[in-house]
Structure 1
């Protein structure tokens, strides 16, 4: 049964929902004093990410309030709220009335006007908590559960609920979702991983931990600077390393593969040090704008940048038929004063003819599962200021003896800084000496036109952190901190 207002807008049937809630001991029923529903994006986020849901859809019925994917797009799906108008569980779909503010994402004008769409059940979820106070009660229940007596639990519950329901204190998102839910999701939003051990086993262990954290709803920060550079000898298999960037892309792909606790997709921040020999490749590999890549070729004197950009760019020459078609479009402008062709079409035809083909990029999905940032050292920034040189270097694993390799395998990933490794008396190989401003310019050009990479002043962080009092160091940032840095440099 669907309840309607006078304007024929579906209404939430609180009595029916409370009946459904009795099947879920984690969820608190709706009471008359509950008022907080939030509005706009805040309401959608509350319902979509933090509300406890009937994930098995065992209580799903006509008239239910639901959250769903209104537009299925692999990269940018659109979520929205609505009410079920009809339900066919046998066929696995439902007809849903979509609230007005979410209709702009619908595909057809008819759907946008009527607001009625048909969607498969797998993209539909039924929230059982539709008031913020319900979430606050669940959180207060979960957070007070550590008390040892019923009396103490009651006191703690009342204290927590008083602050939560007044919005004086709002926990992090993973706490809002997880506390009191009796699930195994993490209560921490984001994590920073230790440096990766430079071995197949080390990479596999790191990947496993990232996957486990993300499956429980946490975001992950990774610094890949301990992975040996591209084409470096891997003596154990008498071959060459595919490089840090390829392994980091493999880790980044987990974001697309792992469905997190709740509806949130994964979040990763991956970093690489300014001294790492793969730093150019790291930055360029994620650039997906052919125009900027061509600009780099035309405006750099660094042959390595040109080489990597050419590897990233893909050029498809025009066929004779395509060349004739685009020339015909330009001729039509001359004959008919542009006729039915827009100026954008004319410019596109002219560009393709001038280029002789179409530029695109190889592997456009590379590293898209993570934001990327560069850890900048004081040494590098001084070289930029003085227009000096900067060395790209890494432990000299190719020339290490068996005993030196044992020490490398045991210690390098605990240190993670080539400067400190050298201070300890370990041999370091200089792969290239570059102009510091060439790397600095590359960072700024890519950040300006694609909002990445971000920058993280790693020496400043370690000089200022309280963690050093505990003998610890800053390795990277998590996605939350790193994303802010990315947005800042892009702005």
Structure 2
């Protein structure tokens, strides 16, 4: 494509309005519209909130599109551009990418020309290219609950005036969903009730999380009501795999569920500081082998050492590898290092010293969620006094049939081992740990992996106005938890 023809690629408003007429939800472009936003803000508006022709029934050459310009499993890059040509048989298209997004392209030729060839699956055609269109759709949707046409028109004008003047900007799920005539949620984030400690309860919780996420909502879950690893499960005469394994299963939904719009799924998963699985939970997302080795060498607590060791994976050098690294090190005292750099020789020495390579087991474990610890006042007092702290859970192994029935019915409504004990039910102390050892573990992991975050759950329940409605704070949504993670990580 010539430079001249590239410059001629621009929005064809008349053709776009003709395409828009196929979609009754979308308002046409009018001459008075001017709000497009700039840079990242424009990309976010177009990518996340604009109504699109997802089935590509109107897609044609010259169309303005948003697409994945760099396909990466963890960090894909999005951008905008214009369709140059479409190969419907191969289901691919050539796109001229806007200049501001070309730096994300890996191929030098693509960077130079801006022309990339991508599958149609990663290309979307936005029909709302001005914020005013989104505001009109939102106002139409929000006013639609009124019973008369007169009232609908009145409230459309009121909503639109506030939205278009940016006096009020709804949450992202409202911007995307209101007036779109789709089954998406108008709420960005949810906090789920405590998870019932049964296969049926976990399955129901998982089902609800999946439904919420499929409609674009983020979810917060507190797994403190799930029994610890190796606790007896009388019904099947076996042992529990533990709260952390079940929470990982729930977290995987983030990767499995395709959300409404292009927003990536979000989950916050929490566990109380008194839960016997808390050490495993904290270490579960540590991806740095050096920090795990540091914990092994500098921690007194045996359970922390075991959790760090279980997370570490060591692959010893083969005889051939050892000989190769030794051969490199032998050039250390030769002028010019025999062509090797000092960095390569240092790396070879390190390999010989450690005797192999350290990696981590289950690197994708719990990656579908941010994690945070629910910190109690009891724990923080133990940290301040440098005393031991009890890791406890309801003594389900000793419960009678009647007590177990009550546990199954009521434990997930209480969700706090301290309150459960106050109500007269037996609680088992699984072990004791020095509070400062646990506190240091939280801080080390948060410093070097940005997780876990911390949530002062007792303070939250003392200060919440939910008490007036007989309710309690169970967890935070992903947005709240993300900020907590940043705070502790500094």
Give the TM bin, normalised by the shorter chain: over 0.9
Rounded Cα–Cα distance in structure 2 between residues aligned with 1:85 and 1:339:
52
Rounded Cα–Cα distance in structure 2 between residues aligned with 1:334 and 1:465:
67
Name the CA shift for 1:463/1:9 in 2 (closer, same or farther; >3 Å). Answer: farther
Residue equivalent to 2:94? 95
Shift of 1:347: 3.0
Rounded Cα–Cα distance in structure 1 between residues aligned with 2:146 and 2:403:
52
> Which secondary structure does the structure 2 equivalent of 1:323 belong to?
helix
- Encode CA deviations 1:256-301: one digit per residue, 9 max, x unaligned: 0001000112100000000000000001111111011001001100
Shift of 1:353: 1.1
- Encode CA deviations 1:22-81: one digit per residue, 9 max, x unaligned: 000000011111111111111111000000000000000000000111111111111111
Do structure 1's residue 191 and structure 2's residue 152 form an aligned pair? no
Shift of 1:333: 3.9
Name the CA shift for 1:120/1:482 in 2 (closer, same or farther; >3 Å). Answer: same
Structure 1: runs of 5 or more not aligned: none
Residue equivalent to 1:66? 65
Name the CA shift for 1:227/1:90 in 2 (closer, same or farther; >3 Å). Answer: same
Runs of at least 4 residues off by over 6 Å: 2-7
> Which secondary structure does the structure 2 equivalent of 1:122 belong to?
helix
Residue equivalent to 2:145? 146
Residue equivalent to 2:130? 131
Shift of 1:395: 0.1
Residue equivalent to 2:155? 156
Residue equivalent to 1:115? 114
Name the CA shift for 1:330/1:132 in 2 (closer, same or farther; >3 Å). Answer: same
Shift of 1:153: 0.9
Q: Which moved more, 1:100-109 or 1:373-382?
A: 100-109
> Which secondary structure does the structure 2 equivalent of 1:151 belong to?
helix
Shift of 1:3: 13
Shift of 1:150: 1.1
Rounded Cα–Cα distance in structure 1 between residues aligned with 2:344 and 2:429:
49
Q: What number of residue pairs does the alignment pair up?
A: 490
Rounded Cα–Cα distance in structure 2 between residues aligned with 1:61 and 1:339:
59
Question: 1:314-333 to 2 correspondence within 5 Å?
Answer: 314-333=313-332
Residue equivalent to 1:480? 479
Structure 2: runs of 5 or more not aligned: none
Question: 1:329-368 to 2 correspondence within 5 Å?
Answer: 329-338=328-337, 340-368=339-367
Shift of 1:6: 8.8
Q: Structure 1 length as normaliser, TM-score?
A: 0.98
- Encode CA deviations 1:83-132: one digit per residue, 9 max, x unaligned: 11011112100001111121122121111111111000000000000111
Question: 1:442-457 to 2 correspondence within 5 Å?
Answer: 442-457=441-456
Name the CA shift for 1:341/1:78 in 2 (closer, same or farther; >3 Å). Answer: farther
> Which secondary structure does the structure 2 equivalent of 1:468 belong to?
helix
Shift of 1:309: 0.9
Shift of 1:9: 5.6
Name the CA shift for 1:333/1:19 in 2 (closer, same or farther; >3 Å). Answer: farther
Q: 1:5·1:11 contact (CA, 8 Å) conserved in 2? A: no
Question: 1:382-397 to 2 correspondence within 5 Å?
Answer: 382-397=381-396
Rounded Cα–Cα distance in structure 1 between residues aligned with 2:59 and 2:379:
59
> Which secondary structure does the structure 1 equivalent of 2:390 belong to?
strand
> Which secondary structure does the structure 1 equivalent of 2:7 belong to?
coil
Instruction: Provide the alpha-carbon RMSD of the alignment.
Output: 1.4
Rounded Cα–Cα distance in structure 1 between residues aligned with 2:89 and 2:199:
47
Name the CA shift for 1:192/1:401 in 2 (closer, same or farther; >3 Å). Answer: same
Rounded Cα–Cα distance in structure 1 between residues aligned with 2:161 and 2:469:
36
